[in-house]
Amino acid sequence: MRLDESLLTNLPPFSKLDKAAIADILQHATTRRFDAGVSVFEEGDYADRFYLLLDGYIRVVRITPHGDQVIALHIPSGQLFGIARALGRDTYPATAITASETLALSWPAELWGEFVAQHEGFSTETYKVVGQRIADMNNRIFEMATQHVEQRVACAILRLINQTGRKVDGGIEINFAITRQDLSEMTGTTLHTVSRLLSAWEKAGIVKSERKKVTVCDPHKLVVLSTGTG
DNA sequence: ACATTAATTATGT
DNA sequence: ACATAATTAATGT
């Protein structure tokens, strides 16, 4: 599959590189398309490749010994993922599931060292992305320990519309199919509680919730809920 | 303040 | 028609 290098020049990891460097990087890349809801790699797999998400969304997931899923975070397009090498690992620390139809580039893990050594933008972007995700997960740990369910769900939805939101008439909608179950797995609650919360918020005019779809009409009120007002 | 259980209804292929 | 998703009420910790 042939790829236009102009597709990459505006993406953060490549924005500081010249055409020759990009062409070189592209030569070693593999392009792959994934359907929604399939796994790109699984926790514990040998990390033989690293990825750049061109289009779509990736859901980073871990499975408990009882078989329950916990959604750690979502990755928007333009970001690197599966970068176990950057964390000093040779296996993936979590499972990556596509949250929508997805297009991704990937390279053999052996090239990781070369990339970060030779391309300034590549390494700084890596630090940035890794830092963001640590902060993200850090916040989640704090929320889990201190906030109530309603506040956690509000936070989760706010994060989703910030990172993966799309403006539509009447609000901002989450740009991929998301179920009550998904939201419960992100917030450590049940789909029933999420359903009740969304119903209540819909009556209050804060959100509009349909099947596999959530639109935020009044972000400000959600922020108020997320910080706790009772 | 939440989970669990269970019954019921809606929605997409 | 069938499976999956969502709602709702009742009951439990």
Residue where a domain stops, chosen among A70, A103, A134: A134
Judge whether A44 lies within some domain.
yes
Which residue range is the domain that position A56 belongs to? 5-134
Q: Is the CB of A177 under 7 A from strand B?
A: no
On whether both A125 and A173 belong to a single domain, the answer is no
Q: Is the CB of A179 under 7 A from strand B?
A: no
What is the model's pLDDT at position A7? 76
Q: Is the CB of A187 under 7 A from strand B?
A: no
On whether both A124 and A24 belong to a single domain, the answer is yes
On whether both A35 and A128 belong to a single domain, the answer is yes
Residue A34 CB: number of other CB atoms within 10 A?
18
Q: Are A195 and A207 spatial neighbours (Cβ–Cβ below 8 Å)?
A: no
Q: Is the pLDDT of residue A5 over 80?
A: no
On whether both A124 and A181 belong to a single domain, the answer is no
Residues close to nucleic acid strand C (C-beta < 7 A): A 179-181, 191-192, 195-196, 198-199, 209, 211-212
Q: Are A175 and A187 spatial neighbours (Cβ–Cβ below 8 Å)?
A: no
| Nucleotide nearest residue A212, measured CA to C1' | C5
Q: Are A59 and A71 spatial neighbours (Cβ–Cβ below 8 Å)?
A: yes
Helix, strand, or coil (residue A49): strand
Distance CA A154, CA A55 (A): 26
CATH number for A202: 1.10.10.10
Count of structural domains, chain A: 2
Average pLDDT over chain A, rounded to an integer = 93
Q: Is the pLDDT of residue A229 over 70?
A: no
Judge whether A139 lies within some domain.
no
On whether both A178 and A112 belong to a single domain, the answer is no
Query: pLDDT (tens digit, 9 = 90+) per residue, A143-198?
Result: 999 999 999 999 999 999 999 999 999 999 999 999 999 999 999 999 999 999 99
- Distance in angstroms: CA A213, C1' C4: 15
- Distance in angstroms: CA A149, C1' C12: 19
Q: Is the CB of A230 under 7 A from strand B?
A: yes
* % chain A with pLDDT above 70: 97
Residue where a domain stops, chosen among A109, A134, A159: A134
Distant-in-sequence, close-in-space partners of A96: CB < 8 Å, separation ≥ 6: A39, A40, A41, A51, A58, A59, A60, A61, A81, A82
On whether both A128 and A160 belong to a single domain, the answer is no
Distant-in-sequence, close-in-space partners of A173: CB < 8 Å, separation ≥ 6: A161, A165, A166, A213, A214, A215, A216
Distance linking the first and last C-alpha atoms of chain A: 56
- Distance in angstroms: CA A120, C1' B5: 56
Judge whether A117 lies within some domain.
yes
Query: pLDDT (tens digit, 9 = 90+) per residue, A78-105?
Result: 999 999 999 999 999 999 999 999 999 9
On whether both A213 and A187 belong to a single domain, the answer is yes
Give the global pTM. Answer: 0.93
Q: What is the dihedral of CA A34, A3, A75, A65, to 10 degrees?
A: 40
On whether both A109 and A154 belong to a single domain, the answer is no
